[in-house]
Amino acid sequence: MSFKMVHENYNVLDLQKSLDFYEKALGLTEKRRIEAPDGSFTIVYIGNDKTDFVMELTYLRDMDRPYNLGDCEFHLGFETEDFEAAHALHEEMGCICFENKEMGIYFISDPDGYWLEIIPAR
């Protein structure tokens, strides 16, 4: 028996704001979408052509407060071949939330406070 990772879910308060962020910050675009017939939820899968792995953004219509992310000790990592350009973009966007220069990595925070690690290609 074997398993293949296919997606990770993040719940979001403002779906369009999140879609815009992920496209600008990481080049992720919508691959497919599921909408509840009654409008209670929308699920959008976003990704790129580098991998089959996708992020699942879930919008729940009746959520009325920010999600509790605990200590924010979980994250999704993204490798980039142009670390300097990525850093410049994220600095311009104001979304860098933590930098570890000794390790040569940094983290950005999405509109809901989820952390995303940016790693240079090695």
Catalytic residues: 117
Q: DSSP state, 65?
A: S
Phi/psi at 87 (5° precision): -60, -45
* 40-45 CB contacts, 8 Å cutoff, 24+ apart: 42/15, 44/15, 44/19, 45/7
Strand partners, 12: 59
Residue linked to tokens 């993204």: 78
Do 114 and 73 meet the contact criterion of CB atoms below 8 Å apart? no
